[in-house]
């Protein structure tokens, strides 16, 4: 079995954790993100902080916990920032803010 292939018991609609062949499955992106942040990245206060990404074939190393937890969003289809005008969702708040400009009067007049 390759690193990219989860065990045969995994349903196709489930999200699979590919951190060091963890293969734990989740039905919701927020649960997968929470699992990554808590179980794999950890915290300095609990003595299990990991600042390098061990997702399949990823070699990102950071210097701060907030940097690695931000990086995790690359691997998780989590889009919590939703445009109230059109309901389009974004991974990062800055992407939503940039998008929202298309709904302004000034932009629509151009």
Query: CA 23 to CA 21: how far, in whole Å?
Result: 5
Q: Are residues 67 and 33 in the same domain?
A: yes
* Residue 9 forms part of a structural domain: no
Task: Confirm if 51 and 63 have CB atoms less than 8 A apart.
Answer: yes
Same domain for 87 and 54?
no
Assess if residue 42 is contained within a domain.
yes
- Mean pLDDT, the chain, integer: 89
For the cut 90, the answer to whether the pLDDT of residue 9 exceeds it is no
Looking at the fold, whether 70 and 83 belong to one and the same domain comes out as no
- Whether the pLDDT of residue 4 is over 70: the answer is no
Pair (21, 61) in one structural domain: yes
- Domain of 99 in residue numbering reads as 79-110
Residue 43 placed within a domain? yes
pTM listed for this prediction: 0.74
CA-CA-CA-CA torsion sign (23, 28, 29, 31): negative
Condensed to tens digits (0 to 9), the pLDDT of residues 25-58 reads 999 999 999 999 999 999 999 999 999 999 999 9
Is residue 39 within 8 Å of residue 54, measured between CB atoms? no
Q: Indicate if 59 and 109 belong to the same structural domain.
A: no
Same-domain check for residues 30 and 65: yes
Q: What is the DSSP letter of 63?
A: S
Q: Is residue 58 part of a domain?
A: yes
Claim to verify: residue 64 and residue 100 sit in the same structural domain: no
- The total number of structural domains that make up the chain: 2
Question: 10 Å Cβ neighbour count for 53?
Answer: 21
Task: Provide the strand spans (E) within the chain.
Answer: 15-16, 25-26, 81-82, 89-90
């Amino acid at each position: 079995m390759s690193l990219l292939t989860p065990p045969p018991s995994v349903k196709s609609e489930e999200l699979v954790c590919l951190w060091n062949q963890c293969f734990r499955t989740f039905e919701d992106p927020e649960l997968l993100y929470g699992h990554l942040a808590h179980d794999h990245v950890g915290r300095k206060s609990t003595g299990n902080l990991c600042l390098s990404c061990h997702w399949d074939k990823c070699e990102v190393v950071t210097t701060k916990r907030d940097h690695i937890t931000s990086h995790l969003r690359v691997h998780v289809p989590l889009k919590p920032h939703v445009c109230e005008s059109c309901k389009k969702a974004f991974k990062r708040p800055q992407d939503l803010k940039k998008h929202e400009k298309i709904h302004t009067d000034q932009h629509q007049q151009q």
